[in-house]
Amino acid sequence: MPATTPEPTTSDATPRQRSVLVTGANRGIGRAIAERLVAGGDKVATIVRSGGAPDGVLEVIGDVRDTASVDAAFTQVEAAHGPVEVLVANAGITRDQLLMRMTDDEFAEVLDVNLTGAFRVVRRASKGMIRLRRGRIVLISSVVGLYGSPGQVNYASSKSALVGMARSITRELGARGITANVVAPGFIDTDMTKALPEDRQQAYLGSIPAGRFGQADEVAAAVQFLASDAAAYVSGAVLPVDGGLGMGH
């Protein structure tokens, strides 16, 4: 069996600081991911539209809906932290509406942020990763993308498509030391979940085998694993963090 070459470290005891970019790290799951990676010693930056990044995270104002804005944001991050080695495409929106009432704009806007926005940042990050011959790409999907949900045809479509994106990237760039994986959170205890009516919350809880909502840091832990050296042979995978809600999908 051929020997593997470990990625460089600053010393035998101190891991090398990686340049990490998490989109949408100003709240919820994205914030928890950024905080966990900062705590692990990485240099973390985020692209956000309106600010509010956690302490220790380089905040760059940008918009994943615009290619020029993405390019400019990456240039800032690269100048401060070096080429992005770990990308977490987390930015996303919802525009829920029943199928017969959903407008073209409601469908297109969600895909532009959740799917095409992920494509824009992955495309830009891949340039540096190819030169480095290493990289970790983690796309934040949702159990809804695999399980489906009424009123979320746009959101489910955008999140399901990330699986095809990750697997195509794996086949295209896998030989260059770059992995691409998907994390699919279920119902997570966030401000959005807390705002739901009590009867709706109880209905959701009744469908989750674990009997509780997940925590944002539990999603962050899954992302941290996929971004680590320990996951070097994991690519094109979908890792559910949903308490068993979507098992088999």
Q: Which active-site residues does the annotation give?
A: 155
What CA–CA distance (Å, rounded) separates 94 from 30? 15
Residue with tokens 């035998």: 12
Q: What is the DSSP string of the chain?
A: -PPPPPPP-SSSSSPPPPEEEEETTTSHHHHHHHHHHHHTT-EEEEEESS--PPTTEEEEE--TT-HHHHHHHHHHHHHHH-S--EEEE---------GGG--HHHHHHHHIIIIIHHHHHHHHHHHHHHHHT-EEEEEE--HHHHH--TT-HHHHHHHHHHHHHHHHHHHHHGGGTEEEEEEEE-SB-SHHHHTS-HHHHHHHHHT-TTSS-B-HHHHHHHHHHHTSGGGTT--S-EEEESTTTTTT-
CA-based torsion, 86, 173, 168, 7: positive or negative: negative
